[in-house]
């Protein structure tokens, strides 16, 4: 017995020593070599992987060729948790050298000093004189540039031309009333199938919902006398939300607690029991994808800008998009800038725009889409747009899902528009005024 | 009396040392006295590194303003008990706490009920059926939570779920496009069912092991005296298995109070606030909005609440330990 105890103790001691030497040795021997191979770590969203991975690889190959001894490691992230992961990497001194952020996510990080100031490099970055104004603003804080505009996206209506025709609809709608009348015709013609939606609109689709609010002259929040105030309970916003509730309840059989990404609405559209969706330009391609979508729809798919309740105008679309920033913790800031110059160069931008169906980051490439019936409607829709309040804490409102929660409760019909809008506005006010 | 310093340590190491109580030379005695501490040292060091230090950090963080700004600079700002008063004045916190307590209570009750019934069934089954049922239980127990929850959620899917399909086919009602999660009460019941389903195997197998230790002569004597099965269960089985019941219930409370994955995965990573249980609330109001100080305070409060809830059981466990 005593022997066994002693043996166990010796084993423990040996193990402890072994661990300490094992962890100590490689760290020391690795450091002299570190300078030889520099790795540039880049975090991009999965959209790049799915739609323009060719551009990413081309940029990295060119960069590695002109910078011997460096290699680029691209890690693809998902929208749902990339900020949480980024925060953890900041805390652990393990942040990437380049990171893609949604344009609504930028402000909080810029305000907190998370990104390197690249104002002085601006001139040397391709097309920086003709960058999209909306994107440039989203990457600018207190007059300094903290990010490179990456791409933009605008939403329009993607629809089934054959179904519209069969329902006796001529031309595309020029007002919200007309659109609603068209939806009625569709629902009448096909709605006997209990799974059919004339307009597929999941309950948590907040970006499309807020377009209604801005169309009616409402706003999510306003800034006055140094204070933010949630304004989804303004008469205009309530009017818009009430109208939207009617449309959703009458023409959508989408899940009222779901969102547009799970399941991907383009794939639901591809299944055939949907007349129209409010979607980004690139979702057209998702719907026709030969593995997950339905290429057979290629001849019966079209798009038009979402019409406003004011006849002849477009409903403002959310100007979405992404920026590329360099975390302040990066030890390879100049290399990161060089990689960004390759990646956002004119040729690769054109590639992303044509293959990936996004709006390019520069107005100099606007012509790429002019003659393309698949993208032109979205480029047109982008002429009327809205953007989230420019509050440093805005992303908290998104991350706490305040607007989504409100919409689910409104569409489910269990709560009144006015009471839910009031509650959400109070929460938004509290969140935007929170000391950072 | 000279034995006194080493006496408790020999007890701690084990009964094997107890018989050797002859006086020895002083040096040897001190050496003997140190051995247990030396043996304990690695374990203590590991526990200190992985448990005590993080707990200390958590406690310290809960008194700081620690947001994104502080995260980047690796330096928090001391703000006393502000985080705690923020939580206690948040009406959502109290709603969530109540919801979590009810949710935990129901989950534990159903886990224990079904676990006990299955354990009783196992005792009465023949060899083959017992093997079959035990294998089923082990399979459930070994399935990763992520996989299990996703499969459950597919079954209850809005568009393609087999539950909606079957209920419609069987003419129970019109369940085409029935959204089980639109009403949070139904949704939480389904999530609770997933939690209970996953927790039953451990309870059932542990209780089965305990049941085999109930002396059969006691049961026979009781039934000869005319006691029915319920009476036997109440007056013989339960008292004998009480320590096991106490441990299982307290463990279940601790587990179910912190349910996170089931809700998170079932609601696609974006639960609406009607689905907030304590752990989700803590995550959303800290990580999601980068208020790590506030999140730490919530975690501390959670631990305190759990201590209160499990106090009775812990006291009971200590008593059992003393009497044995």
- ipTM, two decimals: 0.71
Residue A139 near residue A102 (C-beta atoms within 8 A):
no
Superfamily name with CATH number, domain B100-323: MetI-like (1.10.3720.10)
Q: Rounded distance, CA A96 to CA A77, Å? A: 12
Q: Which pairs count as long-range contacts for A263-272, CB under 8 Å and 24+ apart, including other chains?
A: A263/B159, A265/A200, A265/A202, A266/A158, A266/A293, A267/A292, A267/A293, A268/A200, A268/B159, A269/A158, A269/A200, A270/A294, A270/A297, A272/A297
Residues of chain A with pLDDT under 50: 1-35, 436
Please provide the DSSP assignment of A328-349 as one string: TT-S-HHHHHHHHHHHTSHHHH
Q: In terms of DSSP H, where are the helices of B125-183?
A: 127-142, 145-155, 162-169
Give the bridge partners for A98, in sequence order. A42
Among candidate residues B323, B124, B127, B114, the one with its CA nearest the CA of residue B232: B124
With a CB cutoff of 8 Å and minimum separation 6, the contacts of B198 are: B140, B141, B143, B145, B148, B262
Q: Rounded distance, CA B24 to CA B36, Å? A: 17
How far from the centroid of its chain's Cα atoms is residue B100's Cα? 14
Closest residue of chain A to B15, computed from CA coordinates? A1
Q: Taking residues B59-66, what's their average pLDDT?
A: 92
pLDDT of residue A310: 95
How far from the centroid of its chain's Cα atoms is residue A320's Cα? 6
Q: Taking residues B29-48, what's their average pLDDT?
A: 87
Q: Looking at the complex, does the CB of residue B39 fall below 8 Å from at least one CB of chain A?
A: yes
With a CB cutoff of 8 Å and minimum separation 6, the contacts of B28 are: none
A91 contact residues in B (CB cutoff 8 A): 71, 74
The answer, yes or no, to whether residue B306 has pLDDT greater than 60, is: yes
DSSP element (H, E) containing A229: strand A227-230
Residue B295 near residue B285 (C-beta atoms within 8 A):
yes
* CA distances (Å), origin A209, targets A320, A387, A404, A408, B195: 14, 13, 10, 11, 35
Residue A195 near residue A271 (C-beta atoms within 8 A):
no
Lowest average pLDDT, out of A330-334, A403-407, B22-26, B262-266, goes to B22-26
pTM score over 0.80? no
The answer, yes or no, to whether residue B101 has pLDDT greater than 80, is: yes
Question: Tokens 């506005």, residue?
Answer: A425
Q: Looking at the complex, does the CB of residue A328 fall below 8 Å from at least one CB of chain B?
A: yes
Q: Looking at the complex, does the CB of residue A82 fall below 8 Å from at least one CB of chain B?
A: no
Residue A210 token pair: 């807020």
Residue A169, min C-alpha distance to chain B (Å): 27
Closest residue of chain A to B20, computed from CA coordinates? A2
* CA distances (Å), origin B161, targets B151, B190, B238: 10, 14, 41
Partner residue opposite B158 with nearest CB, options A258, A400, A431: A258
Please provide the DSSP assignment of B4-44 as one string: TTTHHHHHHH-GGGTT--S---HHHHHHHHHHHHHHHHHHH
* CA distances (Å), origin A258, targets A79, A100, A371, B157, B182: 16, 26, 35, 11, 9
What residue segments make up the domains of chain B, in order of their start? 100-323
Closest residue of chain A to B291, computed from CA coordinates? A436
Residue A203 token pair: 């309950």
Map residue A149 onto helix, strand or coil: strand
DSSP element (H, E) containing B61: helix B53-61
pLDDT of residue A19: 36
pLDDT of residue A364: 86
Q: Looking at the complex, does the CB of residue B86 fall below 8 Å from at least one CB of chain A?
A: no
Q: Rounded distance, CA B150 to CA A262, Å? A: 13
pLDDT of residue A22: 37
Instruction: Look up residue B272 and give its DSSP letter.
Output: -
Among candidate residues A262, A234, A253, the one with its CA nearest the CA of residue A79: A262
B288 contact residues in A (CB cutoff 8 A): 84, 396, 399-400
Confidence of residue B27 (pLDDT cuts 50, 70, 90): low
Map residue A389 onto helix, strand or coil: coil
pLDDT, tens only, B167-208: 999 988 888 888 899 889 999 999 999 999 999 999 999 999
Q: Rounded distance, CA B49 to CA A104, Å? A: 39
pLDDT of residue B151: 94
pLDDT of residue B213: 86
With a CB cutoff of 8 Å and minimum separation 6, the contacts of B220 are: none
Residue B261 near residue B27 (C-beta atoms within 8 A):
no
Instruction: Look up residue A362 and give its DSSP letter.
Output: B
């Amino acid at each position: 017995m005593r022997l066994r105890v002693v043996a166990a103790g010796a084993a423990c001691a040996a193990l402890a020593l072994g661990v300490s030497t094992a962890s100590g040795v490689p760290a020391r021997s690795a450091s002299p070599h570190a300078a030889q191979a520099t790795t540039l770590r880049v975090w991009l969203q999965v959209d790049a992987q799915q739609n323009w991975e060719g551009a990413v690889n081309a940029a990295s190959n060119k960069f590695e060729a002109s910078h011997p001894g460096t290699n680029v490691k691209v890690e693809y992230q998902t929208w749902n948790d990339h900020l949480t992961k980024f925060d953890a990497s900041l805390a652990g001194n393990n942040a990437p050298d380049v990171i893609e952020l949604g344009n609504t996510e930028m402000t909080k990080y810029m305000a907190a000093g998370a990104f390197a100031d690249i104002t002085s490099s601006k001139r040397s970055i391709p097309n920086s004189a003709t960058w999209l104004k909306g994107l440039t603003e989203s990457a600018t804080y207190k007059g300094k540039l903290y990010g490179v505009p990456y791409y933009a996206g605008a939403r329009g209506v993607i629809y089934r031309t054959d179904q519209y025709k069969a329902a006796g609809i001529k031309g595309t709608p020029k007002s919200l009333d007309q659109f609603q009348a068209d939806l009625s015709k569709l629902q009448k013609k096909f709605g006997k199938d209990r799974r059919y939606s004339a307009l597929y609109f999941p309950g948590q689709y907040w970006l499309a919902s807020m377009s209604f609010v801005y169309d009616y002259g409402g706003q999510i929040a306003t800034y006055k006398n140094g204070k933010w105030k949630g304004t989804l309970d303004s008469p205009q916003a309530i009017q818009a939300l009430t109208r939207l509730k009617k449309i959703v309840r009458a023409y959508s059989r989408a899940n009222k607690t779901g969102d547009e990404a799970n399941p991907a609405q383009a794939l639901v559209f591809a299944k055939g029991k949907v007349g129209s969706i409010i979607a980004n330009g690139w979702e057209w391609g998702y719907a026709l994808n030969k593995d997950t979508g339905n290429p057979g729809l290629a001849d019966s798919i079209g798009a038009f800008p979402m019409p406003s309740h004011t006849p002849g105008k477009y409903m403002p679309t959310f100007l979405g998009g992404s920026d590329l920033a360099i975390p302040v913790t990066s030890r390879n800031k100049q290399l990161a800038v060089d990689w960004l110059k390759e990646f956002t160069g004119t040729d690769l931008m054109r590639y992303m725009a044509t293959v990936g169906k996004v709006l390019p980051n520069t107005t100099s490439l606007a012509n790429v889409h002019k003659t393309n019936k698949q993208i032109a409607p979205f480029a047109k829709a982008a002429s009327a747009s809205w953007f989230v309040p420019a509050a440093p804490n805005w992303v908290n409102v998104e991350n706490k899902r305040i607007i989504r929660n409100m919409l689910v409760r409104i569409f489910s019909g269990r709560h009144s528009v006015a009471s839910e809008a009031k509650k959400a506005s109070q929460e938004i006010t509290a969140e935007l005024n929170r000391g950072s | 009396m000279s034995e006194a310093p080493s006496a408790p340590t020999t007890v701690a190491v084990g009964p094997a040392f107890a018989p050797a109580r002859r006086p020895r030379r002083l040096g040897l005695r001190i050496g003997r006295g140190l051995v247990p501490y030396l043996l304990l040292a690695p374990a203590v060091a590991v526990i200190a590194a992985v448990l005590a230090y993080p707990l200390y950090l958590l406690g310290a963080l809960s008194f700081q303003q620690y947001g994104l700004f502080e995260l980047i600079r690796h330096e928090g700002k001391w703000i006393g008990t502000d985080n705690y008063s923020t939580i206690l004045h948040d009406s959502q916190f109290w709603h969530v706490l109540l919801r979590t307590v009810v949710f935990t209570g129901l989950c534990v009750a159903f886990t224990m009920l079904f676990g006990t019934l299955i354990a009783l069934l196992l005792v009465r089954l023949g060899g083959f059926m017992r093997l079959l049922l035990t294998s089923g239980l082990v399979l459930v127990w070994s399935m990763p939570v992520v996989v299990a929850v996703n499969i459950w959620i597919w079954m209850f899917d809005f568009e393609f779920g087999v539950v909606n399909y079957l209920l419609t086919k069987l003419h129970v009602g019109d369940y085409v496009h029935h959204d089980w999660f639109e009403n949070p009460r139904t949704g939480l019941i389904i999530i609770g069912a997933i939690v209970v389903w996953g927790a039953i195997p451990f309870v059932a197998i542990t209780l089965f092991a305990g049941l085999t230790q109930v002396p059969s002569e006691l049961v026979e004597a009781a039934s000869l005296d005319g006691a029915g099965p319920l009476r036997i269960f109440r007056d013989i089985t339960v008292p004998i298995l009480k320590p096991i019941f106490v441990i299982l219930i307290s463990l279940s409370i601790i587990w179910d109070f912190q349910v996170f994955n089931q809700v998170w995965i079932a609601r696609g990573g974006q639960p609406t606030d009607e689905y907030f249980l304590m752990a989700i609330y803590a995550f959303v109001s800290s990580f999601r909005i980068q208020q790590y100080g506030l999140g730490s305070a919530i975690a501390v409060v959670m631990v305190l609440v759990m201590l209160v809830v499990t106090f009775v059981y812990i006291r009971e466990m200590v008593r059992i330990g003393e009497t044995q």
